[in-house]
Structure 1
Amino acid sequence: MGAILSLASPKCRVSDYNEVPQVETCKKQKLSSYCNEESTGLIPSLPDELSVQILARIPRIYYFNLRLVSKKWKETIMSSDLFKLRKELGTTEEWLYMLTRLGEEKLLWHALDPVSRRWQRLPPMPNAVYEESSKGFSGLWMLNVAGPRSIIAEFIRGWLGQKGDWGHMPFPGCAIGALDGCLYVLGGFCRASTMRCVWRFDPILNAWSEMPSMSVGRAYCKTGILNNKLYVVGGVSRGRGGLAPLQSAEVFDPCIGSWSHVPNMPFSRAETFPNAFLADMLKPIATGMTSYMGRLFVPQSLYSWPFFVDVGGEIYNPETNSWDEMPSGMGDGWPARQAGTKLSVVVDGELYAFDPSSSTDSGKIKVYDQKEDAWKVAIGKVPICDFADSESPYLLAGFHGKLHLITKDANHDIAVLRADPHHILDFSPSSSNPLTDSKLHELSNSVAESESVIWKVVASRDFGLAELFSCQVLDL
């Protein structure tokens, strides 16, 4: 019994066995066999079913280190069954996944756990070269199979006339989406061509994989999620005459792993031009897309770079598989950020958008009022800095049931800010001092005139010269 207790203690190490005298070899083998049997479980002396229950309650930020405990721990933590259990137990966590751009082409992924305020660097997407033929892209060469610094990879890059760091994925002008707990990167530019390729990042496996390609090459397309399907609309393609806007749309179903067509956006309001000259110069383009109230809302504009003219938008209804015109107040008043892009996010069923037009160092958050078909100011002051040379000086995200702003602060650090109520009002009626309708109205007006929202820094980090590109939220 004493020997067994000794083996169960932390002093039981393989190196200790090497010091056992030869006469105790048989005893050593028996005890070693017993120790191996005990170590077959995830946690000694506990059934695996209970061990998995414990692992499912541990914050996900620790999973990266827990995978190093043993092969069995790694298999368990990288199993989809564990994350299904987390969903059943209600222990899932929302992380912010942020895509940054360094220079003109290098795009890098980062993940933020807002609870621990710790950042994780995602593995880079595989470097790829698409071989162009007369009929399009006929093949894919993977250049990082032997490692990004391998002599073979560098030789191929040199033979193709590319610099050593060419091929950073994802491609410039790509779009991103979040579906079924995974990140998707779609399309973009490669040299002078628009891409059809689609890549998926699985945070459970911490790895990228190539998915079925879109039907056409797209850059700057818009994405949205409905009924656990990934929709892609618009964007531009490169033809003989240069860049041409796309009215087409398609949808990816992860259950069957394939794309199918969606009816083209009619651009009904964009077809009404005052004269033939404007009709030839201005081209319709989708400038945003949001999944809201079970439908896809796509604001649209007419553009002739760098000019953009709002022309309302259209709504896709998956039940009828058709497009309807967006209410005029919603489409015409949808706030636009730089380059005509209309940024929005849905938090607790409310549609929010950022309006930067008030000043160079501030802005407003507006919320859409469906009953009045109008955008109203929800937050009157948003702390942003003036980065006129930045393509994406700020981003919006919704997690933990609150609105978040991602921007650069005065120190040029990328900061994640959360909008919190500053005044907490108690509207509970009491017999001694009941709140009448008139008093309630006066109290609401006084709060609206004051600073009713403050911004708290969730996390901040120096990413050097990297600029914001896009972001998504995954709940795992």
Structure 2
Amino acid sequence: MGARMSMNNQSCNEFFDASQSEARKRQRTSSSSLWDETARLIPYLPDEISIQILARLPRICHFNAKLVSRTWRAALTSKEVYQVRKELGKTEAWLYVLTKLSGEKLVWHALDPVNGAWLQLPPMPSIDGFRRGLRLWNMVGSSIIGDTLRSWIRRRDASDNIPYCGCAIGAVDGCLYVVGGFFRASAMKSVWRFDPILNSWSEVAPMSVGRGYCKIGVLNNKLYVVGGVTWDPVGLTPLQSAEMYDPCTDTWTKLPSMPFLKAQVLPTGFLSDLLKPMATGLTSYAGKLYVPQSLYCWPFFVDVGGEVFDPVMNTWNEMPDGMAEGWPARQAGTKLSVVVDEALYALDPSGSPDRVRIKVYDNGEDAWKTVGVDVPMRDIGDSDSPYLLTDCFGKLHVIAKDVNRNIVVVQADWRNQYGSGPSTSSGSFGDHLVNGLASSEEVWKVIATKNIGSSELVSCQILEI
């Protein structure tokens, strides 16, 4: 009996071992099957279909969607989903606004204009390790331009200690670019790119020369940088040079320098030393770069026309007289402009205290004409940058800071009032709009606000993703 029990126990043990082995095998198979399914973006669906679904998600949902799984995060930080968004016509235009906090720190805010939601971008990279130069006051020498620029920088709260002071902002190929600026008495060559897909900053190829307060524009999916100021052995010096950045190859190409022909006809050598030519604006219009120019001696700016760069011929030519002479100017000689629906608009803050005017350029007549519908916004004269212009959804937008310390984004919609915007042809210029047959409340609409406290507006860009 003992032998029989032993044999039965052995059989039971063999059965138990076999059952355990089979169970482990089934568990491994089940786990493998489960892993195969969870490795997909959406279980039991091919990834090709899942990509189509993710591409239809509004961008505002992407931040939470990235938390679903590692596979979702990988998909939403890849180019594939965003390429499908373009193919499906699901791209969204967001407004990115750069502000300066307490005169020291730059902070980016992103607006989803459809949902009215504001988000804050990651901080810009620290450049504390950037090469330190000598103090600005010991570098600029005794030249007149050095003295005037030195007083300018002193006026701007000792900004040689502020990172990115005087940087230029551009947007191309779905990314933001922060170009140059001053830090610790040196003009920086560095260029930083913000990728909204990765939600991160990275450094790209530097410019050929350090620049601060340069002008920046986009043409043919390339970034153009002109003018600005830098420093050389004799002090701070305005620049006439220009260069182009190709985001596809991460390379810079030098362009012919701006001739500044009108600046060369000054009657005396004294005026030539006193007044230095500066690029005070840049806009991409009709396939060319238009650069209004001024002669500068702080705090004075004297307009001297402008020049046009033809990328096909790789040459500079003089700007049409009517465009150059009538281009509205604002603080520090800066000329704000934007192209909307092939029409060139500029901002003229010289109206009444509680209004700001918009002008549009008539290419046929070579003249600027005032749009008869003022922006219903208080003129804040003591701010460095009270107004910004941009194009979003094919409509003109004005961004300003109101008396309650809010960013206010107002949208112009004259299509709804007149059926079309102002034409730039000489035959039909949209006289109904220029003559102002509608009230400002009928044309301008506030689409978003955000309190930014004591911060000041610096720049804005539109990214469509």
TM class, shorter-length: 0.7 to 0.9
- Which residue of structure 2 aligns with residue 75 of structure 1? 74
1:442 Cα deviation after fit: 13
> Structure 2 vs 1, CA of residues 168 and 190 (structure 1 numbering), >3 Å: closer, same or farther?
closer
Return the alpha-carbon distance in structure 2 between the equivalents of residues 167 and 308 of structure 1.
26
Choose which of 181, 186, 189 in structure 2 pairs with 1:188: 181
- Which residue of structure 2 aligns with residue 430 of structure 1? none
Moved more, 338-347 or 452-461: 452-461
1:459 partnered with 2:459:
no
- Which residue of structure 2 aligns with residue 199 of structure 1? 192
> Quick check: which one's helix share is greater?
2
Moved more, 370-379 or 266-275: 266-275
Asked whether the 8 Å contact 1:127–1:168 carries over to 2, the reply is: no
1:295 Cα deviation after fit: 0.5
C-alpha deviations, 1:316-354, integer Å up to 9, x for none? 001110000000000111011111000100111110000
1:105 Cα deviation after fit: 2.2
Identity of paired residues, percent?
Answer: 56
- Which residue of structure 2 aligns with residue 12 of structure 1? none
- Which residue of structure 2 aligns with residue 35 of structure 1? 34
Choose which of 182, 198, 208 in structure 1 pairs with 2:201: 208
1:118 Cα deviation after fit: 0.8
- Could you tell me the TM-score, scaled by structure 1's length? 0.81
1:268 partnered with 2:261:
yes
- Could you tell me the TM-score, scaled by structure 2's length? 0.83
SS in 1 for 2:165: coil
C-alpha deviations, 1:29-65, integer Å up to 9, x for none? 5544433332221112221111101111111111111
Return the alpha-carbon distance in structure 2 between the equivalents of residues 24 and 360 of structure 1.
82
C-alpha deviations, 1:41-97, integer Å up to 9, x for none? 111222111110111111111111111111110110100111111111111111111
- Which residue of structure 2 aligns with residue 278 of structure 1? 271
1:28 Cα deviation after fit: 5.6
- Which residue of structure 1 aligns with residue 131 of structure 2? 131
- Which residue of structure 2 aligns with residue 110 of structure 1? 109
How many residues matched? Answer: 412
Letter in 2 for 1:474: L
Asked whether the 8 Å contact 1:127–1:167 carries over to 2, the reply is: no
Asked whether the 8 Å contact 1:178–1:472 carries over to 2, the reply is: yes
> Structure 2 vs 1, CA of residues 441 and 280 (structure 1 numbering), >3 Å: closer, same or farther?
closer
Return the alpha-carbon distance in structure 2 between the equivalents of residues 245 and 280 of structure 1.
12
1:196 Cα deviation after fit: 0.7
> Structure 2 vs 1, CA of residues 90 and 367 (structure 1 numbering), >3 Å: closer, same or farther?
same
Asked whether the 8 Å contact 1:125–1:168 carries over to 2, the reply is: no
C-alpha deviations, 1:197-234, integer Å up to 9, x for none? 11111111111111111111100000111121111000
Letter in 2 for 1:296: L
Return the alpha-carbon distance in structure 1 between the equivalents of residues 411 and 36 of structure 2.
50
Choose which of 443, 460, 465 in structure 2 pairs with 1:471: 460
> Structure 2 vs 1, CA of residues 286 and 446 (structure 1 numbering), >3 Å: closer, same or farther?
closer
1:177 partnered with 2:153:
no
SS in 2 for 1:123: coil
Return the alpha-carbon distance in structure 1 between the equivalents of residues 270 and 434 of structure 2.
51
Larger Rg: 2
Letter in 2 for 1:462: N
SS in 1 for 2:370: strand
Return the alpha-carbon distance in structure 2 between the equivalents of residues 252 and 458 of structure 1.
34
Return the alpha-carbon distance in structure 1 between the equivalents of residues 433 and 401 of structure 2.
32
Asked whether the 8 Å contact 2:418–2:433 carries over to 1, the reply is: no
- Which runs of 5 or more structure 2 residues have no equivalent in the other structure? 1-21, 135-159, 421-427
Asked whether the 8 Å contact 1:185–1:198 carries over to 2, the reply is: yes
1:358 Cα deviation after fit: 1.3
- Which residue of structure 2 aligns with residue 7 of structure 1? none
SS in 2 for 1:335: coil
Return the alpha-carbon distance in structure 1 between the equivalents of residues 110 and 288 of structure 2.
28
Return the alpha-carbon distance in structure 2 between the equivalents of residues 360 and 264 of structure 1.
39
SS in 2 for 1:130: coil
- Which residue of structure 1 aligns with residue 19 of structure 2? none
Asked whether the 8 Å contact 1:107–1:168 carries over to 2, the reply is: no
C-alpha deviations, 1:409-461, integer Å up to 9, x for none? 2312111111123863579xxxxxxxxxxxx9999489734426522111101
Return the alpha-carbon distance in structure 2 between the equivalents of residues 275 and 443 of structure 1.
45
Letter in 2 for 1:451: S
Asked whether the 8 Å contact 1:196–1:213 carries over to 2, the reply is: yes
